Chain A
Amino acid sequence: MKMNRRSFIKACGVMAGYAVLGVNMTKEAAAAAMGFVGLRQKSVYDADANVYKIRKSQDNPMIAKIYDHETGFLHEGPCGHMSHHLLHTHYVDRSARVKALKAKGFKFNL
């Protein structure tokens, strides 16, 4: 195996750590990461079920207030004029720069 400066440094670091920590570290890094994410996800669903008294957006009293047909700031209801002005948007075709990079020889996954 050809060793460049980087992998040499890396190997030194690993050897030093190896001497300290010993053998039998088999836990998969990827599996560990998903376990970590799973814990956060579970906490979200627990809070949804146990912490939040109201569980549907349409039942939020402040939603009723903002969309109130007469006095609400968004009185026309969802997707009304004010909603379209403030809460909706448009998108921009951004493909040109990546196309130009590819034409210059850069490789990407897509």
Chain B
Amino acid sequence: MKKIEGVMAQTNAPKGIDPDGIFFVQVDPAKCEACGTCEEVCATGAIQSINDDGIRAVVDPAACMNCGQCLVNCPYGAIYEGVSFVDEIFEKLQDPNTVVVSMPAPAVRYGLGESFGAATGTYVGGQMHAALRKLGFDYIWDNEFTADVTIMEEGTELIQRVKEQGQKDARPLPQFTSCCPGWIKFAETFYPDLLPNLSSCKSPIGMLGPLSKTYGAHETHTPAKDIYTVSIMPCIAKKYEGLRPEMADSGFRDIDATITTRELAYMIKTAGIDFNTLPSQQPDPILGDSTGAATIFGNSGGVMEAALRLAYEVLSGKTLKDPDIKVVRTHEGINAADVKVPGFGTVKVAVASGLANAAKLCEEVRAGKSPYHFIEIMSCPGGCVNGGGQPLDPDVRASLFKSTVAQINKRFRARRITA
């Protein structure tokens, strides 16, 4: 076990193991104070009491979507991560025969700075690229590029689905987004009948892995077998996704290692890099350059907004003058919107933040009552910026104490009155 930015983690680097058998998060019973916070934030109920003392545990990995919301919300730091590749990545960075490639997600650059004292949410994209270079990554490729690819693929798929309605073998509507690995496992586990509604697109990281070992290998004249791809995510469920057996379309493992924002911060600190004095740098070309549409993937409603920026132009043949489509921006809960597209009509969309809300939209689809063309789902409330792999909110580990103090205050006051 290693302590990584306030979270304990088992350092191992599983390979060729069925990820369905892995506990990506688990409770340390010696640290659990039985407060029940984890159970409250868990949509599936995978984490529950296992004895009369109220000690919690993830009872079986099959019921856990690996979202990590229990972990980031536990006031006692009692929940640990079951998988960490940091040691193996340090070894690969040292190895002159391995070409190590970085693949950071959009949301990482809105959390990483917090580990180095920056204000909540500070954008540190340029310093993140510089830090990855300093750590010794050979190519600073960026998952934001494949967020743009995802929009091209998923937007095209949506338009195809809309057009083929009424034809034989038409793929069903609504189309669900497929970039959130917690949501994908959730659909596979609890709504398998709705799998035809899921976009067939892999997530942006599911695309960047194989593109690195094919297109990227070709463009940089690197033998694909020498490339080691590191997925850097605001997310624990991405570790599960990286280990899915089918993620091997490049002829190799598409994603060799997955770490969180916290683990990247840990690696930067361990390497003795002074993050705050780093200059702002660009990613490497070919698989690095991106757009505003890609960076908003980090927020609930962002994939929807980015897709609409494309769909509007394709369906109407006109230029979208103002790219802000604020109606779909989602802070929490479920957000539904009608987006008028000239020459097409109304695109009906919904965004759900959190899996309990996802379940509500799934029930509608299952009942044949869903009015939408396109639904975006993110497991974590607010989106990836609030993912289970992001630096911890310092208030969380103080919060239970504060609310308990408030309760005690109330009890003392009540006693005084009755005395």
Of residues 1 to 56 in A, which have CB atoms within 8 Å of B's CB atoms? Answer: 4-7, 9-10, 13-14, 17-18, 21, 23-29, 32-34, 36-49, 51-52, 54-56
Q: Which 4 A-B pairs have the closest CB atoms?
A: A29-B399, A55-B292, A97-B62, A43-B121
Q: Are B202 and A94 in contact (CB under 8 A)?
A: no
Contacts of A25 in B (CB 8 A): 402-403, 405-406
| A interface residue numbers (CB < 8 A to B) | 4-7, 9-10, 13-14, 17-18, 21, 23-29, 32-34, 36-49, 51-52, 54-63, 66-67, 73, 77-79, 83-95, 97-98, 101, 106-110
Which of A4, A49, A52 sits near B290, CB closer than 8 Å? A52
Task: Tell me how far the C-beta of A25 lies from the nearest C-beta in chain B, rounded to whole angstroms.
Answer: 4
Is there an interface contact between A37 and B405, defined as CB atoms closer than 8 Å?
Answer: no
Q: Which residues of B contact A91 (CB under 8 A)?
A: 184, 187-188, 195, 198
- On whether the beta carbons of A66 and B215 are closer than 8 Å, the reply is yes
Q: Of the candidates B189, B195, B331, which one forms a contact with A98 in the assembled complex, judged by CB atoms under 8 Å apart?
A: B189
Q: Which of B206-226 contact A (CB under 8 A)?
A: 206-207, 210-211, 214-215, 218
Please tell me if the beta carbons of A86 and B214 are within 8 angstroms of each other in the complex: yes
> Could you tell me the dominant secondary structure of chain A's interface residues?
helix
B239 at the interface (CB under 8 A from A): no
On whether the beta carbons of A56 and B60 are closer than 8 Å, the reply is no
List, in ascending order, chain B residues with CB within 8 A of A56's CB: 291-293, 309-310, 313, 320, 323
Q: Which of A28, A33, A88 contacts B202 (CB 8 A)?
A: A88
Q: Are B192 and A44 in contact (CB under 8 A)?
A: no
B59 touching A106, Cβ below 8 Å: yes
Cα–Cα, bound, A29→B404 (Å): 11
CA distance A33 to B246 in the complex (A): 36
Are B408 and A78 in touch, CB under 8 angstroms? no
Most buried by B among A6, A9, A107: A6
Given known A42-B121, A57-B148, contact A52–B156 (CB-CB < 8 A):
no
Q: Are B332 and A58 in contact (CB under 8 A)?
A: no
Partner of A73, one of B52, B178, B189, B215: B215
B309 touches A32 (CB 8 A): no
A21 to B404, CA, bound (A): 12
B134 smallest CB distance to A (angstroms) = 22
Q: Are B409 and A23 touching (Cβ within 8 A)? A: yes
A41 touches B292 (CB 8 A): no
Task: Indicate if the CB atoms of A33 and B289 lie closer than 8 Å.
Answer: no
Closest B residue to A18 using CB positions: B405
CA distance A59 to B226 in the complex (A): 32
Task: Pick the contact of A6: B54, B249, B386 (CB < 8 A).
Answer: B54
Q: How far is the CA of A24 from the CA of B53 in the complex (A)?
A: 30
| Contact B45–A109 (Cβ < 8 Å) | yes
Q: Which residues of B contact A44 (CB under 8 A)?
A: 106-107, 110, 121, 123, 295-296, 298-299, 302, 385
CA–CA, A89 and B184, complex, Å? 12
Given A26-B406, A45-B296, A45-B329, check contact A95 B310 (CB 8 Å): no
Q: Determine the distance from Cα of A1 to Cα of B190 in the docked complex, in whole angstroms.
A: 38
Once the chains bind, are A101 and B160 in contact (CB under 8 Å)? no
B138 within 8 A of A: no
Pairs across A and B, CB under 8 Å, 14 listed: A44-B302, A45-B296, A47-B123, A51-B295, A57-B151, A58-B309, A60-B145, A62-B288, A63-B148, A86-B250, A89-B202, A94-B189, A106-B59, A110-B45
Indicate with 1 or 0, residue by residue over B396-415, a CB within 8 angstroms of chain A CB atoms: 10011111111011000000
Q: With A66-B215, A95-B190 in contact, do A78 and B120 touch (Cβ < 8 Å)?
A: no
Q: Does B393 contact A (CB under 8 A)?
A: yes
Query: Are A41 and B290 in contact, CB atoms less than 8 angstroms apart?
Result: no
List B contacts of A10 (CB < 8 A): 33-35, 404
Tell me the complex Cα distance, A19–B396, Å. Answer: 20
Pair B402/A29 contact, Cβ less than 8 Å: yes
Interface bits B145-186 vs A (CB < 8 Å: 1, else 0): 101110111011100100000000000000000100000110
B407 to chain A, nearest CB (A): 9
Decide: A43 near B110, CB < 8 A? Known: A25-B406, A56-B310.
yes
Which chain B residue has the least Cβ–Cβ distance from A2? B52
Bound CA–CA A63/B294 (angstroms): 12
A84 to B33, CA, bound (A): 49
Report chain A residues within 8 Å CB of B249: 85-86
Q: Report chain B residues within 8 Å CB of A88.
A: 153, 200-202
A23 to B123 Cα, complex, angstroms:
36
